Amino acid sequence: MKLRRHKENPILKPRGDDWESIEVYNPAAIHIDGKIHLLYRATGEYVKYISRLGHAIFDENLNLVERSDTPCFTPDLELWEMSVEDARITPLEGRLYMTYVITPTPCPPYSVRRRLGMPPRPQARTRISLAEVTYESERLSFQRLGIITPYGSNQRDTVLFPEKIGGQYAALHRPSAWIGDGYPTERPGIWFAYLDGLPGRMYEHRLVMKSEQPWESWKVGAGPPPVRTDKGWLLIYHGVDENRVYRAGAALLDLEKPWKIIARTPEPILEPEEEYEKVGDVPNVVFPEGAVVIGNELLVFYGAADKVCCVASVRLDEFVDHLLRAS
């Protein structure tokens, strides 16, 4: 079963001549008081390639209500944050938490460097930081809590579970350095870990998912935070093939032991087909990063071609049933 694209895609495009003039993509999403809030990654120039987060508000019919003129979250240079990227938001115990990628060495992707004739740069391994998000009068504020991923593991795609697992905080993460000798996977995969607090230290890491199908043969990574259903945790994830085409898949994880996969889509649920997904700064990319459930409708927000923000949807109950049958 495929996700249905919104007829007005893309729902956010670059604008102006400043911080969000060249790319707006990979949006986190949260549903509060009848409004959908997106925190999207934005860049305004290619040389320094600094990413910030913008804030846009939609109603439940996906009409744009408000979009910030200034970034809502910017790098903190004192913390070696030269760029903040690819946020996810999780409601947990009555609070909102945001995971996000930090790096002291932001660098444009290879496709951009090749197009502009830019040489490669040394790059530090990325880490994941945590912030608490406060919502008041349709405004979001942030309190940084610190880094939560293991040093040197080269992390992206880290999402918190929206409730404790076995009485402990828990997350899925994607340590790109944990491959090959000494590890149970040859390609970057999705791992489960407990946390001893928020913020806290990750421990008891378990491999959840590695590449299986040709369309995800290069690597896989978690998308939005897992969505609880009666039949398991619904995980939307991305898979990348050897040609660097990004597609979306889905899996159902055990509610009590989410390192166990109940079901998994053999085919992608969304793949680059539209021009805005095939043509951009990184061509042929759909990158799911935010999800909200309204009634029985699952809305999946994704970045397309590292250029714009889009959304696709499906009936949640039908999708979970199909996932179980397809596996």
Count CB neighbours of 137 within 10 A. Answer: 4
Which pLDDT value is given to residue 236? 99
User: Could you tell me the residue range of the domain that residue 249 belongs to?
Assistant: 13-326
Q: What is the pLDDT of residues 87-145, one digit of tens each?
A: 999 999 999 999 999 999 999 999 999 999 999 889 999 999 999 999 998 789 999 99
pLDDT over 80 at 37, yes or no: yes
- Mean pLDDT confidence for 147-167: 98
Residue 166 lies in a domain: yes
Residue 268 lies in a domain: yes
CATH of the domain at 146: 2.115.10.20
Distance in angstroms (rounded) separating the CA atoms of residues 3 and 208: 24
Closest CA to 84 of 102, 98, 106: 102
Residue 134 lies in a domain: yes
- Mean pLDDT confidence for 175-188: 98
Distance in angstroms (rounded) separating the CA atoms of residues 108 and 228: 35
Residue 36 lies in a domain: yes
Which pLDDT value is given to residue 327? 77
Contacts (Cβ under 8 Å, ≥6 apart) of 21? 14, 15, 44, 45
Q: What is the pLDDT of residues 196-215, one digit of tens each?
A: 999 999 999 999 999 999 99
Distance in angstroms (rounded) separating the CA atoms of residues 174 and 189: 6
Give yes or no for a contact between 58 and 35, defined as CB atoms under 8 angstroms apart: yes
pLDDT-based confidence at residue 225 (cuts at 50, 70, 90): very high
Q: What is the pLDDT of residues 247-300, one digit of tens each?
A: 999 999 999 999 999 999 999 999 999 999 999 999 999 999 999 999 999 999
Which pLDDT value is given to residue 190? 99
Residue 2 lies in a domain: no
**Local structure of 12: helix, strand or coil:** strand
Distance in angstroms (rounded) separating the CA atoms of residues 54 and 280: 19
Residue 285 lies in a domain: yes
> In total, how many domains does the chain have?
1
Higher pLDDT, 313 or 121: 313
Determine what percent of the chain is predicted with pLDDT higher than 90.
97
The average confidence (pLDDT) of the chain is 97
Residue 194 lies in a domain: yes
Burial 121-136 (b: 16+ CB within 10 A, else e): eeeeebbbbbbbbeee
Which pLDDT value is given to residue 137? 82
Hey, what long-range contacts does 109-112 have (CB within 8 A, 24 or more apart)?
109/281, 109/282, 109/306, 111/281, 111/282, 111/283, 112/46, 112/281, 112/282
Which pLDDT value is given to residue 279? 98
Determine what percent of the chain is predicted with pLDDT higher than 70.
100
Residue 153 lies in a domain: yes
- Mean pLDDT confidence for 139-154: 96
Which pLDDT value is given to residue 211? 98
